[in-house]
Amino acid sequence: MSRLVEHLRTYGENVAIHTDSQQLCYRDLADRVEAAASSLGRDRRLVLLETRNDIATLVHYLGALAGRHVVLPVPAGRDHTAVLQTYDPDVVVSDGDVQHRRTSAGHRLHDDLAMLLSTSGSTGSPKLVRLSPTNLISNAQAIADYLHIDETDIAATTLPMSYCYGLSVINSHLARGAGLILTDRSVTDERFWETFRRHRGTSFAGVPYTFELLERISFDTMDLPDLRYVTQAGGRMPPERVHRFAEHAQTGGWQLFVMYGATEATARMAYLAPELALSRPDAIGTPIPGGSFSVEAPDGDTIGELVYHGPNVMLGYARGPADLALGKTVDALHTGDLARRAPDGLYEIVGRTSRFVKMYGLRIDLQRVESALSAAGISAFCADDDDRLIVAARTGRDAGVVQRIAAEAAGVPASAVRAVIVDELPLLPSGKPDYPAVRELAQEHGLPSAGTLRELFADVLQLDPADVDPDASFVDLGGNSLTYVAMSVRLERAIGQLPADWQQRPLQELEAVATPARRRRFWAATVETSVALRAAAIVLIVGSHAELFELWGGAHLLLGIAGYNFGRFCLTPLPRAKRVRHLRNTIGWIAVPSILWVALALLLTDDYTWTNLLLGNKILGPHDSMTAGRLWFVEVLVWTLVALAVLFWLPAMDRAERRRPFAVAMAFLAVGLALRYDALGLELGRDAWFTMLAFWFFAIGWAAAKATTALQRVLLTVVLAVALQGYFDSLTRELLVLVGLALVIWLPTLRCPAALTAAAGVLAEASLYTYLVHYQVYALFPGDPLIGVLASLAVGILITQLVTMARHRLRARRGAVRAAKLTPARR
C-alpha cells in the first residue's frame, strides 16, 4: 500500500468529499484510490487525465500519484490533439473510464517525475512543467501552514483541477484531512452558494476575474456564516479591489489571503498576510514557508527580476517525450517579473520583463497599459499585433475612451490603438488572460464608424466623435440632467419620436428606430415631460418675479424635476466611484456658474452678500435683506446634491440603493416629509418653503424616477396630494405643483406641435442661466414687465449658447494639445 493511501486512511471517518448528492469519508476515498491505482497498471505509466471537479477525476488523480504513475491533467472538453501527438500517453482517463493505449509502458520516466502541467493553465501547447513528489508535498504543506488549514476546514473547488492553483487547493486540504466541496458551478450560480452553505464551506479560491464576478453579484451582502478565509492568486488584482475585499473581510469576519505563484513553483511562492491587505494591497507579501526571494537588479538599482528559491521549484520544462527522462535541470525560478523589496520587507511587482513590445520606436509595457485602464475603472486585456496595440474591454465601456487612455498610457497616437468591446474578456481555463484570443478579436471586430447620431452625441456631450461608441448610451457617455434637454430635443429632430428609455439605449439602437416620415408631421413631435415642465417652470418663475402675472410654484416644480433627473442620471448601474464622480460633475455644473454670477453681481450691484457667494445665505444669513432668498432654489439643490454625494460614497448606502431603488427613495421621502410636518419641532413656519426643509419635493421626484409599477405611482400621487394640502396656503399654487409633478409620475412624454417642442427645449436648456440672471435683467425694464420677462429669457438663452461655444473651443484646444504631445511618438 502506498504512503498516499496510508495518509488518507489516517483520517478515517472524516468527510473528505462533499457533492450535491453524496459524501465520501477518507477511509472510503482511500479504498477507491487504491483500486484506481491498480486499474492504471503495475508499471509506471504516463496518464493523461481529463479533469472535472468530480469524484471520478479526483480518485484517478490520487490513484495515479499513489501508483507512482506520471499524471498529466488537462481540462475536459478541450482539444488535446497537440499534447496527445507529442507525448503519446500510455493511458487516457475520461469521465472515470480508463483507456489503455498500449499493454506496457511506452516512455522512459525519471524516478522523480510525478506530474506534468501546462504553464499558466494554457492548453494545446506541448511545453509542460515537470514536477516531483517533493515539489507537490512541500508546496501543499507550506500552503496549509500559512492558511492554518485543519480537519475542520471545507474548501469549494472554484477552479479547474487541471490548473495548478485549483490543484493546490485540493492538495493542501487533503494534506491536513480537511474536506472538499467538488463542484464545477460558477460563483455566479446561486446553486453554488446553496451547496456551499449546506456543507458549511469555510473557504474558496479565486483568480482576479472571480472577484470581478463576486462584485457583480454583491458578494459582500451574502450570508456565509462558516466562511473563514478567501484566497486570491492567478494574476495581479488591482490594489483598489484588494482593498475593497479586505474591507468586506473585516466587516464579514473572514480573512483575505492574496497570493503569488506560478505553475513552475507548483503553485505558490508568496502570500500577503490578511492584516496587510488593507494597508499594503499593492504588495505580493513575503515568501511562503521554506521559500525565499532574491532580486537580480543592475548595480545600484532596487528593481530587477524576481527569482524564487525553494523545494517547490519544478524539475524543469518538457518540450517532448525525451525530456520525461530528465532529472532536475533548474535550481531557482526566474519569474520574469520585475520586482523590488520595500523597506517594510514586503515584495512588490512593478512590471513584466516579457510583456514589452516595440512600437513607434518606443518600448511599451503592456502591463502598464492594462494598469492605467484598470485605474480608470476599465477591465481590459492588451496585446500587440504588428504595429498596433489591441485592447479588449468588457461590454459597457466606451471604445473611444478605452482607445484614448490606452494610447496615452503607451505614449502612441490613438490611431495606433484598436479597442474592441466584448461581452466577456477572453480567458484561459485557468481564468488568466488569453492574449492570443485578444489578437484574434481584432480581426473579428472593427472600430465603430462615424455617423450622424455619433456626431450629434459628440456635439452635445463635448466629446470627440471617435470617442463615441455606438454600443454606448447617453448615460454611459456621461450625459446628465443638464445635457439631457439639448440631447432629447435634437435627437427628436434627428430620429422622430423617442423611446421612453432612450437615454439608456445604445446609440446604434436609436438609429434603428428612426422614423423620418413622422418627423414631417406637425403633431408627430413629442417632448419629454420633464423638459416641457422645466421650460414652463422657468417662464412661471421669471413672469411672477417680474410681476407680469402671479403664478407661484415654479421653483418647487423645478426641485421635483431635479430629483427626477437625479434618480435617472446619477443613480445608474455604473460602479459606485463613477456614480459619485457623475454626481460631483453635476454639482459643479450648477454651483460653478452660480458662484461666478454672484461674484459678478457683487461687483456691479448690491443684490447679494458674501454668503450668497458660498451658496449659503439661507443658512448663514442675513435673513432680513430684500434679496436674501433670491437664490434659495440653487442653494437647496446644490447642498442636497452634496449631502447625497457624501451618502452614496458609502458602500453600504450604494449597495442598498442598488438592491431596493424605490424603497430607498421612499425612505428619503419619509425623511423629507418628517421635516415638512416639523416632526423635530423646529417651528420654522413659512420659511420652510424656501429652505432644505423643501427637500421632500426633490425626494418625490427621485421616487418617481424609480417607480416601476402602477401601484408605486398611485402611492406617490397620493403622498404628493396629501403633503401639498395646506403647504403653501394657496390652492392655486398647490394645484399647479400637484399637476406638474403628477405628470412627471405618470407621463414620461407629451405630444405637442414641433415648433413648441423646439421652443420648450431651448427654454429648458437655458433654465439654469435664466434663473441666475433674471433678477438683474428684468429690473432694467421698470414698468414694462413683458419686455423684462422676454429680455430675461433671451439673456439666459444667449449665455447658454456662449457657454456651449466656449466649451466647443476648449475641447478643440485640448485635442490640439493632445495631438502635439503625441507628435514625438509618431516620429
Rama region for 12: left / alpha / beta (φ>0; ψ in -120 to 50; rest): left
For range 343-368, the mean pLDDT: 74
447 vs 466: CA distance, rounded Å = 9
Higher per-residue confidence, 405 vs 298: 405
**Per mean pLDDT, which of 145-154, 544-553, 652-661 is the most reliable?**
145-154
Q: What is the pLDDT of residues 287-321, one digit of tens each?
A: 999 999 999 987 767 888 899 999 999 999 998 99
DSSP 8-state code for residue 69: P
Question: Peptide bond before 622: cis, by omega within 30 degrees of 0?
Answer: yes
Quote the pLDDT of residue 517.
Answer: 37
Question: To 10 degrees, what angle do helices 529-545 and 731-746 make?
Answer: 160
Quote the pLDDT of residue 524.
Answer: 46
For range 176-199, the mean pLDDT: 94
CB burial readout 150-171, b (16+ within 10 A) else e: eeebbbbbbbbbbbbbbbbbbb
Q: What is the pLDDT of residues 98-108, one digit of tens each?
A: 999 988 888 99
Asked if the domains at 3-341 and 356-444 fall in one CATH topology, the answer is no
For range 408-419, the mean pLDDT: 74
Question: To 10 degrees, what angle do helices 554-569 and 695-706 make?
Answer: 40
Q: What is the mean pLDDT of the chain?
A: 85
Quote the pLDDT of residue 303.
Answer: 83
Strand intervals (E) in 66-157? 70-75, 91-94, 97-100, 115-118, 128-131, 154-156
Query: Taking 70 as the threshold, does the pLDDT of residue 395 lie above it?
Result: no
Query: Taking 60 as the threshold, does the pLDDT of residue 62 lie above it?
Result: yes
Query: Taking 70 as the threshold, does the pLDDT of residue 208 lie above it?
Result: yes
Beta bridge partners of 229: 203, 255
559 vs 194: CA distance, rounded Å = 46
Q: What is the pLDDT of residues 589-636, one digit of tens each?
A: 899 999 999 999 988 888 888 888 888 887 777 766 556 678 888 999
Question: To 10 degrees, what angle do helices 554-569 and 529-545 make?
Answer: 150
Q: Are 421 and 399 in contact (CB under 8 A)?
A: yes
Question: 810: buried, middle or exposed (CB in 10 Å: 19+, 13-18, 0-12)?
Answer: exposed
Query: Taking 70 as the threshold, does the pLDDT of residue 520 lie above it?
Result: no
Quote the pLDDT of residue 521.
Answer: 41
Q: Which amino acid appears at position 411 of this protein? A: G
For range 440-465, the mean pLDDT: 61
Question: To 10 degrees, what angle do helices 767-778 and 785-826 make?
Answer: 130
Any idea which architecture 452-524 has in CATH?
Orthogonal Bundle (1.10)
Query: Taking 60 as the threshold, does the pLDDT of residue 677 lie above it?
Result: yes
Any idea which architecture 3-341 has in CATH?
3-Layer(aba) Sandwich (3.40)
The domains of the chain are located at: 3-341, 356-444, 452-524, 529-752
Q: Are 30 and 162 in contact (CB under 8 A)?
A: no
The SS3 of residue 601 is: helix
Q: What is the pLDDT of residues 710-757, one digit of tens each?
A: 899 999 999 999 999 988 888 999 999 999 999 999 887 777 776 787
Q: What is the pLDDT of residues 131-161, one digit of tens each?
A: 999 999 999 999 999 999 999 999 999 999 9
Q: What is the pLDDT of residues 109-135, one digit of tens each?
A: 999 999 999 874 444 457 899 999 999
Quote the pLDDT of residue 790.
Answer: 96
Question: 511: buried, middle or exposed (CB in 10 Å: 19+, 13-18, 0-12)?
Answer: middle
Of the chain, the percentage scoring pLDDT greater than 90 comes to: 51
Q: Does domain 356-444 have CATH number 1.10.10.60?
A: no
